[in-house]
Amino acid sequence: MRPRGARMVVMVAAVAAVGLAVTAGASAAGEQRTEQRTEQRIEQSADLRADLRAEQRAELRRLARELVDAGAPGVIVRVDDGRGTPVEIAEQAPWTRPDHLLKAGDEYRMGSNTKTMMATLALRLVAEGRLALTDPVEKWLPGKVPGGAAITLRMLLNHTSGLYDYTEDPAIRPSFLGADRRRWTSARLLALGVKHAPLFPPGTRWSYSNTNYAAVGAVLEQATGTSLADLVRDRIARPLGLQHTYYATGPAWRGPYARGYEPDAAHMPPRVPAAFRNVAGPRHHGHVDVSGNDPGWGGAAGAVVSTAGDWSRFSRALMSGRLLPAAQLAQLRTTVPVDPERPDGPGYGLGVQTAIHPCGTFWGHDGGMPGYLTANLTDRTGGRTASVLVTTEFWSEFGADPKIAKAAGALQTAAICAMFGKPAPTAAHFR
């Protein structure tokens, strides 16, 4: 793919040079030749783009297959460069096929991509005058968050509140592993996080914390008197025609779904801590099927189910301004540095991440819960989208499998570049 991409640049430049060589004072015959050359240039450019798309599709499929060969049970890839039919790929390990034949349109647990939807809901209420980004948490959740008078809704949405992450509390671990079926509400998840001391004074630093979005969920429920499931359905899924997108209120799925897996205790990579090595679910081929476990512990931070295609439509509607007025969309895109030592590095806005990649600046979010790792990306205007969904997650959560990590990184890079209609960069671009 990379050599063909280099030839494409050279050929387009050569065709352009031919067109520029025609002078403005040409005769009628010369003008006709100019038109013919222009048409030829357009046709050649279209042919070159088609060649690149075909090679990108083949490369994405090859890299998806390599990821499965590296140990991933399965992967879904969807890339839409805004110029034609999206690329949709589903690859899976042979041992998973008796469980389910993986398809690119399968429902999938989106994990922390949920935060983008929660931020969208909050900003829509801001646009309606029902919330303000400057509202202190204390206004909506009196007495529920220590120091809540100094924590604003904006700080929750961009992770600058300093609140401790509830997923670090051992009490959530049985639910995380699928051994505890209790129902977690926004209020209970928030209480679990705020019983710990804050990490820093509000607004002074950035630190990713799921407790922020447990609080956002509680604020949304308090401000509207409506459940999060109904808010997602009525304000996002139904208006956009997202037929397989919903806020999960239990372990049940509503349509064909991707099975998620983790290694069983005997095959768990050594880097995974002992407390996380026993995952609940049916076992076979050295793995545990976690698809029947309840994602409710993710709450407003991670409980949404969707598909790659549905999420692409959501990203397009969000970033193009269909879901939010211009003022609120600008607030969503206003970022803080993830690393204070790199002010021009990756940033976090209101429920969205952004970073500069050799192929272009992308926006979006990633997410992970047992059996499901997600990366849903778009450009600034939503005209291009990419999703890479891997049906196992502990390798990333604990840095436990470098082989899978390397293969996944190569696939994600290729997907980002295909989204921007560019060939994947060589290793030199990352030095």
Q: Is the pLDDT of residue 427 over 70?
A: no
Q: Is the pLDDT of residue 15 over 50?
A: no
26: pLDDT confidence band, cut at 50, 70 and 90? very low
What average pLDDT does this structure show over 206-233? 98
Render pLDDT for 287-300 as a digit per residue (tens, 0 to 9). Answer: 999 999 999 999 99
Task: Say whether 175 is catalytic.
Answer: no
142: pLDDT confidence band, cut at 50, 70 and 90? very high
> What residue type is 307 in one-letter code?
T
Render pLDDT for 99-119 as a digit per residue (tens, 0 to 9). Answer: 999 999 999 999 999 999 999
Q: Is the pLDDT of residue 269 over 50?
A: yes
What pLDDT is attached to residue 54?
A: 86
12: pLDDT confidence band, cut at 50, 70 and 90? very low
What average pLDDT does this structure show over 354-374? 97
Residue 293 Rama label (left phi>0; alpha psi -120 to 50; beta): beta
What average pLDDT does this structure show over 250-260? 97
> What residue type is 261 in one-letter code?
Y
Q: Is the pLDDT of residue 46 over 80?
A: no
* The residue count for the chain: 431
What pLDDT is attached to residue 45?
A: 54
What pLDDT is attached to residue 425?
A: 76
Which of 284-311 are b and which e, b meaning 16 or more Cβ less than 10 Å from the residue's Cβ?
ebebbbbbebbbbbbbbbbbbbbbbbbb
Q: Which CATH architecture best describes the domain 67-430?
A: 3-Layer(aba) Sandwich (3.40)
- Please provide the DSSP assignment of 320-360 as one string: TTSSS-HHHHHHHT--EESSTT-TTS-EE-SS-EEEEETTE
Q: Where are the domains of the chain?
A: 2-46, 67-430
Give me the catalytic one of 112, 161, 175, 312.
112
Q: Is the pLDDT of residue 152 over 50?
A: yes
Closest CA relative to residue 177, chosen from 72, 57, 262, 92 = 262
What pLDDT is attached to residue 3?
A: 28
In this structure, what token pair is assigned to residue 339?
Answer: 């690393």
Contacts of residue 299, Cβ cutoff 8 Å, sequence gap at least 6 = 184, 185, 186, 189, 210, 213, 214, 217, 228
Q: Is the pLDDT of residue 66 over 50?
A: yes
